[in-house]
């Protein structure tokens, strides 16, 4: 049986509920700045989350939901420009502390580190967004806690492709079967399982109906002492919130 050595965290939807009140707002502000009458409401954004990556999501929107957009300029330049401005808006939202970590995330990160496990990040989002989220929620010093922050365009193919997790594994030099991933979405689970990494899901409003096949355990969140979490499917946990011992047991059940 392999020993659990490292935890790899997804970011959006896992560390924090960033999509509805963060990324979505930032996209709409960028569209407004460009005098585009595009408004991604909560329902439409939930559909657009089928595609990971902000630039890819704008392309998906144009090709599937706004096919009559008539633009005589270079559409790729427009998308890159919109996304760069969106990222500025999103970072500003984070810096205003508009987004907080999900239940149990800070607690478990501290417990995992205290237990001597390594931690990393593997995310589709833009690196600047990860830096801003970690700084605004855990403090700038926390950036050094992560052995690897694998993010965004660093790999050619985004989730559900396994590339970002493969990249992270290579950087940290720890085999997939000695790691455990926290993810929140079907695309994320396809990606982490594609990299052969045991995976635990904390679902959310946008992903609760996703297909999490391949995940060992699906939870509603990581729980706090005064905020019990629920196991939705898969391996149980001992108490009302996820502990390092739970992670070691869940990881052992996968090997």
Q: Which is nearer to ligand XBP, 28 or 52 (CB)?
A: 52
Options 47-55, 80-88, 132-140, 176-184: segment touching Mg ion (CB under 5 A): 176-184
Judge whether 216 and 186 are in contact, CB under 8 Å: no
CA distance 115 to 129: 28
Q: What's the closest the beta carbon of residue 185 comes to Mg ion, in angstroms?
A: 5
Q: Which of residues 76-115 bind ligand XBP (CB under 6 A)?
A: 87
- One of 12, 163, 184, 246 is an active-site residue; which one? 12
Q: Which of residues 12-51 bind Mg ion (CB under 5 A)?
A: 12-13
Active site residue 41: no
Q: Residues 178-197 vs Mg ion: string with x where CB under 5 A?
A: ------xx--x---------
Active site residue 12: yes
Looking at beta carbons, which residue is closest to ligand XBP? 54
Q: Which is nearer to Mg ion, 58 or 151 (CB)?
A: 151
CA distance 192 to 165: 6
3-class SS string, the chain: CCCCCEEEECCECCCECCHHHHHHHHHHHHHHHCCCCCCCCHHHHHHHCCCCCHHHHHHHHHHHCCCCCCCCCCHHHHHHHHHHHHHHHHHHHHHCCCCCECCCHHHHHHHHHHCCCEEEEEECCCHHHHHHHHHHHCCHHHHHHEEEEEEHHHCCCCCCCCHHHHHHHHHHCCCHHHEEEEECCHHHHHHHHHCCCCEEEECCCCCCCCCCCCCCEEECCCCECCECCCEEEECCCCCCCCCHHHHHHHHHHHC
Q: Residues 73-112 vs Mg ion: string with x where CB under 5 A?
A: ----------------------------------------
Options 10-18, 29-37, 169-177, 222-230: segment touching ligand XBP (CB under 6 A): 10-18
Q: Residues 110-129 vs ligand XBP: string with x where CB under 6 A?
A: -------------xxxx--x
Q: Which of residues 46-65 bind ligand XBP (CB under 6 A)?
A: 52-54
The 10 Å Cβ neighbour count of residue 38 is: 18
Q: Which is nearer to ligand XBP, 53 or 103 (CB)?
A: 53
Q: Which of residues 169-228 bind ligand XBP (CB under 6 A)?
A: 188
Known catalytic residues are 10, 12
Binding site for ligand XBP (CB under 6 A): 10-13, 19, 23, 52-54, 87, 123-126, 129, 152, 159, 188
């Amino acid at each position: 049986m392999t020993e659990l050595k490292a935890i790899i965290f997804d970011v959006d939807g896992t560390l924090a509920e960033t999509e509805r009140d963060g990324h979505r707002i930032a996209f709409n502000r960028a569209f407004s700045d460009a005098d585009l009458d595009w408004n991604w409401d909560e329902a439409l954004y939930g559909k657009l989350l089928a595609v990971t990556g902000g630039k890819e999501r704008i392309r998906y929107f144009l090709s599937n939901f706004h096919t009559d957009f008539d633009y005589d300029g270079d559409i790729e330049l427009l998308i890159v420009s919109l996304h760069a401005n969106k990222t500025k808006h999103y970072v500003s939202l984070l810096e205003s502390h508009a987004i907080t970590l999900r239940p149990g995330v800070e607690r478990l990160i501290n417990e995992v580190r205290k237990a001597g496990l390594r931690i990393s990040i593997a995310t589709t989002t833009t690196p600047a967004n990860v830096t801003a989220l970690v700084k605004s929620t855990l403090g700038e010093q926390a950036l050094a806690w992560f052995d690897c922050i694998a993010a965004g365009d660093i790999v050619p193919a985004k989730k559900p492709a396994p590339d970002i997790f493969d990249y992270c594994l290579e950087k940290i030099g720890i085999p997939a079967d000695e790691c455990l991933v926290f993810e929140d979405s079907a695309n994320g689970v396809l990606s982490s399982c594609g990299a052969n990494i045991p995976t635990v899901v904390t679902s959310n409003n946008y992903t609760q109906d996703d297909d999490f096949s391949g995940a060992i355990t699906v939870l509603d969140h990581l729980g706090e002492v005064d905020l019990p979490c629920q196991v939705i499917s898969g391996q149980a946990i001992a108490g009302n919130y996820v502990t390092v011992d739970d992670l070691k047991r869940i990881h052992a059940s996968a090997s």
